[in-house]
Amino acid sequence: AQSVTQLGSHVSVSEGALVLLRCNYSSSVPPYLFWYVQYPNQGLQLLLKYTTGATLVKGINGFEAEFKKSETSFHLTKPSAHMSDAAEYFCAVSDPRAGANSKLTFGKGITLSVRP
């Protein structure tokens, strides 16, 4: 079975500061990895994903994440936080052996606050 760990429930940064949201996974095979973002009163939307190839992936809104197999991690970063980045962020995994349309396993999510 796969699982995702997002330590902590809340991260607060100053506007312009580095954003680092941590994600560790457990999987018997190298998984597909995802970050989704949820703005207040909205559904989730995909930020970025890693399936194969380059381990550093870039997403929307200046976010990027790096797949590190040795550390079983997929941390999300952004060099400079903006007020509009305040949201809840979810890391998720899926089993590549299950093919397309397989299900995602989500972490509990981390709320990012950005201070002026």
Partner 1 sequence: DAGVIQSPRHEVTEMGQEVTLRCKPISGHNSLFWYRQTMMRGLELLIYFNNNVPIDDSGMPEDRFSAKMPNASFSTLKIQPSEPRDSAVYFCASERGSYNEQFFGPGTRLTVL
List, as own/partner pairs, every contact residues 58-67 make where C-beta atoms lie below 8 angstroms and the sequence separation is at least 24, other chains included.
Answer: 59/35, 61/85, 63/19, 63/35, 65/23, 65/33, 65/35, 67/33
For residue 104, state whether it binds partner 1 (rule: CB under 8 A).
yes
Binds partner 1 by CB under 8 A, chosen from 10, 82, 103, 115: 103
8-27 residues near partner 1, rule: CB under 8 A: none
For residue 41, state whether it binds partner 1 (rule: CB under 8 A).
yes
User: Min. distance of Cβ 8 from partner 1 in angstroms?
Assistant: 14
Q: Are 26 and 2 in contact (CB under 8 A)?
A: yes
Stretch near partner 1 under the rule CB under 8 A, chosen from 17-25, 56-64, 65-73, 102-110: 102-110
Q: Are 12 and 110 in contact (CB under 8 A)?
A: no
For residue 58, state whether it binds partner 1 (rule: CB under 8 A).
no
For residue 32, state whether it binds partner 1 (rule: CB under 8 A).
yes
For residue 49, state whether it binds partner 1 (rule: CB under 8 A).
yes
| Integer CA distances (angstroms), 114 to 46, 57, 67, 88, in order | 20, 23, 25, 12
Q: Which residues bind partner 1 (CB under 8 A)?
A: 32, 34, 41-46, 49, 51, 90, 92, 94, 100-109
